[in-house]
Amino acid sequence: MEKQSLWYLENIDVTNIFCPNKLGGHRDDHTPKMYKAGEYIYLPDEYSDSVFFITEGRVKLSTYSDAGKEITKAILGKGEVFGELSLVGEEKRRDFAIAMEDVELCYVRADNMKELLRDHSGLNLFLMKVMGSRVLNVEKRLESLVFKDSRTRIVEYLKELGTTKGQRFGYDTVVRKFLTHQEIANLTATSRQTVTTVLNELRNENIITFNRKRLLIRDMDKLV
């Protein structure tokens, strides 16, 4: 079975909190919105005044280095939250969010969100874990950049993808909606050419197969 999102694991009905209109509510401070693939949700230097909850689709959070290279911070899917730094003092966005496919979001203004945090104790725990996991992921990526070579970073990302997003079928692990080589490069601070080389080597060793729609890891233990 595919890994479930964090709010399921905590038994918190975040969908109801963020999107009451889906369940028959009528509150103006919760606004659902659709974005087409390739459409920006927000850009750097825009006011940071909302928290977003993904109900359908995938969203990429990225920034640009001083040299103009895109650095992908995270790729998020259904049931995940972003924009949470607006709750802890961020005045303007430092990154950009873009829809990777058609996306449906519910978003709540930061001031209204603070009221919800007072009304829903479980939501505090949920957001603390979201922010904590983001910090841990950043630390892991920094350590990887300092201590690990490009091939190791790419392989470890594939293992993480299989563990968090994959479905197990015996020894096989299937990841739907596999990323482009450039997207993997942006996530692992490598080049598209290096990603292509590593993926082809793993495919030639019969450890993985892949196309634009899916990644199949034949045996996670052999992915080293």
Ordered DSSP codes for 71-99: EEEEEE-TT-EE-GGGGTT--B-SSEEEE
Q: Kindly report, residue by residue over 39-86, the tens digit of the pLDDT.
A: 999 999 999 998 898 989 999 999 988 888 888 988 998 888 899 888
How many domains are there within the chain?
Answer: 2
Report the C-alpha gap between 177 and 59 in whole angstroms.
Answer: 13
Q: What angle do CA 213, 8, 13 make, to 5 degrees?
A: 120
Host domain of residue 19: 6-147
| pLDDT value, residue 210 | 94
CATH classification of the domain holding 61: 2.60.120.10
The more confidently predicted of residues 21 and 183 is: 183
Domain assignment present for 1: no
**Lateral strand order in the sheet of 40-42:** 40-42, 96-99, 59-64, 70-76
pTM above 0.95, yes or no: no
Entry field: residues in the chain: 224
Cβ–Cβ contacts within 10 Å for residue 132, how many?
Answer: 10
Report the C-alpha gap between 23 and 190 in whole angstroms.
Answer: 44
From 122, 147, 172, the end of a domain falls on: 147
Inter-residue contact 98 to 39 (CB < 8 Å): yes
